[in-house]
Structure 1
C-alpha cells in the first residue's frame, strides 16, 4: 500500500457498514487522503462531513491542508462547519476565482451556487488562504492542479452558467502512475487525466476517483469518456457524485475489473 483515501461525502451510501456507523449521504463530494493529511472538498452542508469524519475516526483537526476543487456550494458548503470545529490553523488551497459568483439552472430555474463564506471568515478561523491558477506543489509528488487546460477533450459543464475555470484536480504521483481526484470533473475527463500526466510526469493513469459529471450528457459522450478511460489501462476507477447512476453503470460496463463503487464511507488503500 502506498496511500489510503476515504470518501467522506457522496450522493450515495454503498457500504454495508453505513447503518452501523450511521453514515450520512448528501449531494456533494469530499475525500480525505490520510498519508498527506489532505482534505479535498467539504460537501454541501458540513453535517454529513463532520458526522462521517467522526464515524471513520478522523478529527476535524487532522487535515493540514484543504484543497477546494471549485467554488460550487456542494463542494464548499462544509467549510464553515469544518473551520468552526477546528482548534488549529489550516492551509486552504483554491483557484483564484474562489469568491466569484456561480449559478446553475435546475428544474425550478436559476439558483446561485457559489461559496457561502468570505475571505475575512476564513482568516478569522485561522485559515491560510493560497489562491492559485497554475499547478501548486503541496508535498513531494502531490499537486493541486490549478486551472486545467481544455485542449484534449470537451468540458463537462452541465447546467452551470460558466465554464468553471476553477475546476481543480488533486494529482498524486503513485509508484504505479497518476492518481487523480476530481470534484465534479467540469474540465472533462480527458483534460483532467492528460494534464495530470503532464504535471506529475507519470507515464500512465493508475486511478481516478471522484465526480466526472456524466449526468446530463448524451449517452454517446458517456460511452466515449468511459472508452477513453479504458484505453488508459487504469487499475482503479471510482465514479462518485455527479457521475450519476447511469454514468457509474457505464464505467462498470466498460471497466468491469477496475470500476469500483464509491459512496460515503468507502476507503481505498492503493
Structure 2
C-alpha cells in the first residue's frame, strides 16, 4: 500500500526543491491503491501544485474523505473539484456544515468552518455521503465514523468544541492496523482502540497524520507516547498539528518506528 503526503506544514526533503513542492498549514494524503484523497489542506493551491508535481492527476481520485470540518483540511475542496472533469464520491461526518470556531492569539474566536455549501457540491456532481457510523470503502478500508472518547481524552487545543466529526481512515494490513488521521482531535488512544474494535485487529502497524500534540501539557504527550510504545507500531509519522516538539517526542520514544513526514513523503506499507 502506497501513501503520499500531499499537504503538510513542513517541507522536509531535499527533493522538494527540484519538484518545487509547497507546504502550508494543513494536511492531505493520497492512498494510491484505493484512489482515496484524504483531506485537501488549507488553500487548494498547495494540494494541486503538489499533486501535479508528484504525477497525480486531479481526476485520478475516486473518493474524497474529509477527516473533519476545519478549514485547514477542507479549504482545498473547491480548488480540487474545479480542477476535475468528473464526479467524485465524498465521505464526511454528518455535521460537515456545522460552524466551527477556534480561539486565536488575541482571545477572539476565529471561524474555521468549511467555505462551501451542499448546493455547491451538488452542482459539481459530488456524491456526498454524510456518516456517523463506520463506512466501508473497500475490503479492509473504512472511514471510522464518529470515534467514541472512552479510552482517553480528546485533543482539541484551542478549538471551541470536542470535534465529534474527527474521523480516521482505517486500513487493514497483514502486519496490523494502519490509522490515517487528519488532526487526531479524537485522541490517539481512542482512534487506535476504536480501530481495533471495528476492524477486529489487535495489532498496530502504523499511525500516520496529525496528532494535535500542539498545546498539550508535557505529561499528556508522555502518556500518548507511552501508550504508543506499548502498542509497538512499526511506523509512526507525526505531521501537521503534531508540532515540531511533538514530532521530536515521537522520535525519542519510538526511534525504530519513527518516520519523517512532510510534503512529498511516500510510505510503502
TM-score between both structures, scaled by the size of structure 2 = 0.99
Residues 1:66 and 2:64 aligned together? yes
Aligned length: 268
Cα distance in 1 for partners of 2:264, 2:222 equals: 28
What is the aligned counterpart of 1:89 among 79, 87, 90?
Answer: 87
* Alpha-carbon offset, residue 204 of structure 1: 0.4
* Alpha-carbon offset, residue 223 of structure 1: 1.1
Q: 2:52 matched to which residue of 1? A: 54
What is the aligned counterpart of 1:105 among 99, 103, 106?
Answer: 103
* Alpha-carbon offset, residue 110 of structure 1: 1.4
State the Cα deviation string for residues 119-169 of structure 1 (Å, max 9, x = none). Answer: 011111111000000000011110000000000001001000000000000
Secondary structure, counterpart of 2:189 in structure 1: helix
Give matches, 1:2-151, under 5 Å.
3-108=1-106, 109-151=108-150
* Alpha-carbon offset, residue 176 of structure 1: 0.6
* Alpha-carbon offset, residue 106 of structure 1: 1.6
Secondary structure, counterpart of 1:244 in structure 2: helix
TM-score between both structures, scaled by the size of structure 1 = 0.99
Residues 1:209 and 2:243 aligned together? no
* Alpha-carbon offset, residue 248 of structure 1: 0.3
Runs of 4+, deviation exceeding 2 Å:
none
* Alpha-carbon offset, residue 25 of structure 1: 0.3
Cα distance in 1 for partners of 2:226, 2:17 equals: 35
Which runs of 5 or more residues in structure 1 are unaligned?
Answer: none
Q: 2:169 matched to which residue of 1? A: 170
* Alpha-carbon offset, residue 244 of structure 1: 0.3
Q: 2:218 matched to which residue of 1? A: 219
* Alpha-carbon offset, residue 203 of structure 1: 1.7
